[in-house]
Amino acid sequence: MGITGPLGLGVERFWRRLVNGESGISAIQSFDVKDLPAKIAGQVPPGTRAEGGLDLNEWIPVKEQKKMGRFIQLAWVAAAEAIEDSGWAPEDEAGRCATGVMIGSGIGGLEVIQEAGLLVAAGKSRRLSPFFIPSALVNLASGQVSIRYGFKGPNHSAVTACATGVHAIGDAARLIALGDADVMVAGGAEAAICELGIGGFCAARALSTTYNDTPAEASRPWDKGRDGFVMGEGAGVVVLEEYEHAKARGAKIYAEIIGYGMSGDAYHITSPTEDGEGGYRAMKAALASAGITPDQVQYVNAHGTSTPMGDDIELSAVERLWGDAARGLAMSSTKSATGHLLGAAGAVEAIFSILAIRDNVAPPTLNLDEPSRPSPIDRVAKTAQERKIEVALSNSFGFGGTNASVVFRAAP
Amino acid sequence: MSETAEKVKKIVVEHLGVEEAKVTPEASFIDDLGADSLDTVELVMAFEEAFGVEIPDDAAEKIQTVKDAIEFIEKQQAAA
């Protein structure tokens, strides 16, 4: 597993900080925000690898950096950690051909599209870089990782807005189950913290704008004072492997993917239905494919973006599906600490769900001072909780009315 | 080495991420300096920008070595 995100580089460091209740939200540094109502974000910290920061020169040859949008660079770094951690380095052609990549992104190279658009607007279309298109294309995160490691199996990508990460991991697991690959490097990456990204989501009235002076308090899922999501950037990558294949080579197995479910709302481009039935059906399908009942799940990593509408709709859907079992369930939103990583959210949150199982810890929902409504579900307000967690479900819902849920169980 | 040659060399080093010593007049961008076809397109654009010259596509195709680039640019500059 590999993570690059607002709480730094490296899965173990990121997880420790998350469980400790640290926030990765801060004032936007990379451009002037004076004309924008939202001025904060969850940014990958600069710094050396040893400090848990990102110095691209430590990871990617300078000549190659300019051929990649930032989302690809972040995917590259997370994939490097994940692949090294997995110990999988196929030595023969058959092994390489049985290894695929499925790293998605919600938007792709938005900052390079912005720069290119400025050139065109200035009448300098002939000055567009030959690397503009391959820097911006969503599937080039997979493409670059495939080229770097020589993985010649399925070279694929998911693009489903904020559900991308879960779709990439779920679909990659299905490709393995269907026999298209033995190993899949899967996940999501996003880097939309630029004028186009912040401005665009501001225009859609999706971002938090009242906590610019207290960034760490801005992402507050289910809390009365929530006013929109905080954008985050980063990448999460996991190495999925067919069980017998992993066992045979003595691989470190964190967890098993046992369920995956998808649905569409067929309702609105940006809003979920008021009863949350789309999310409900995705979770139900995921549990059905796992062959388990809700009472067998101890932890849910919620989509929980800190928007006034979405949080309680998801809560209602979980309450309805879990019924009496809701009382024993822990559900938290780690976006309270990371912000919303859009197409990478489902991937980093899959990793948190897996680590929740490994360590028997539910990570906290920061800033949940006063829930907008009560619930029998424990939303792990402010402080992590030690809990016996054997099965965890993670939700991701995206614009366009797309919903996906994935279920993990402790390694067999 | 002429001023143009120095400048060309610097651009090649920056864009292709190669050691300065490797950038000899005879060095081929693709065979010796690890460039691919897109790298050479970008390199030609960088020359255009840096020297304020226009390098048409058919001329760009003939610029394969460091020397080719220097000679083309110097010819353009002399004509200007």
Would you say residue A158 has pLDDT above 90? yes
- CA-to-CA distance for A188 and A201, rounded, in angstroms? 19
Confidence at residue A304, expressed as pLDDT on a 0 to 100 scale: 98
For chain A, say whether B15 makes contact (Cβ under 8 Å). Answer: yes
Classify residue A119 by its DSSP letter: H
A67: which chain B residues are within 8 Å (Cβ-Cβ)?
38
Q: Do B41 and A130 touch (CB under 8 A)?
A: yes
For chain B, say whether A179 makes contact (Cβ under 8 Å). Answer: no
- CA-to-CA distance for A255 and A390, rounded, in angstroms? 10
- Reported as a single tens digit per residue, the pLDDT across A193-213 is 999 999 999 999 999 999 999
- Reported as a single tens digit per residue, the pLDDT across A277-304 is 999 999 999 999 999 999 999 999 999 9
B39: which chain A residues are within 8 Å (Cβ-Cβ)?
63
Structural domain ending residue among the three candidates A222, A249, A276: A249
One domain, residues A277 and A149? no
One domain, residues A310 and A361? yes
Structural domain ending residue among the three candidates A214, A249, A284: A249
CA B2 to chain A, closest CA, distance in angstroms equals 26
B52: which chain A residues are within 8 Å (Cβ-Cβ)?
none
One domain, residues A222 and A313? no
How many structural domains are present in chain A?
2
Catalytic residues of B: 36
One domain, residues A275 and A127? no
How many structural domains are present in chain B?
1
B46 neighbors B13 (Cβ within 8 angstroms): no
CA B38 to chain A, closest CA, distance in angstroms equals 6
Confidence at residue A412, expressed as pLDDT on a 0 to 100 scale: 86
Structural domain ending residue among the three candidates A249, A275, A306: A249
Q: What is the CATH number of the domain that holds B51?
A: 1.10.1200.10
Domain extent for B59: 3-79
Choose the weakest-confidence range: A69-78, A87-96, A339-348, B69-78. B69-78
One domain, residues A204 and A318? no
Share of chain A above pLDDT 90, in %: 99
Domain extent for A332: 255-410
Share of chain A above pLDDT 70, in %: 100
One domain, residues A223 and A349? no
A63: which chain B residues are within 8 Å (Cβ-Cβ)?
15-17, 39
Q: What is the CATH number of the domain that holds A199?
A: 3.40.47.10
One domain, residues A219 and A266? no
One domain, residues A231 and A317? no
| Mutation site, B39, B40, B55, interface A, largest A CB count within 10 A | B39
One domain, residues A50 and A186? yes
One domain, residues A146 and A263? no
Q: Do A63 and B17 touch (CB under 8 A)?
A: yes
Closest CA to A335 of A210, A207, A239: A207
- CA-to-CA distance for A363 and A366, rounded, in angstroms? 9
- CA-to-CA distance for B15 and A66, rounded, in angstroms? 9
Site of tokens 């199996």:
A153
Q: Can you give the pTM of this predicted structure?
A: 0.96
One domain, residues A161 and A290? no
The H-assigned helical ranges of A291-378 are: 310-322, 335-338, 345-359
- Reported as a single tens digit per residue, the pLDDT across B5-30 is 999 999 999 999 999 999 999 999 99
Closest residue to A131, CB basis, from B17, B42, B49: B42
One domain, residues A226 and A264? no
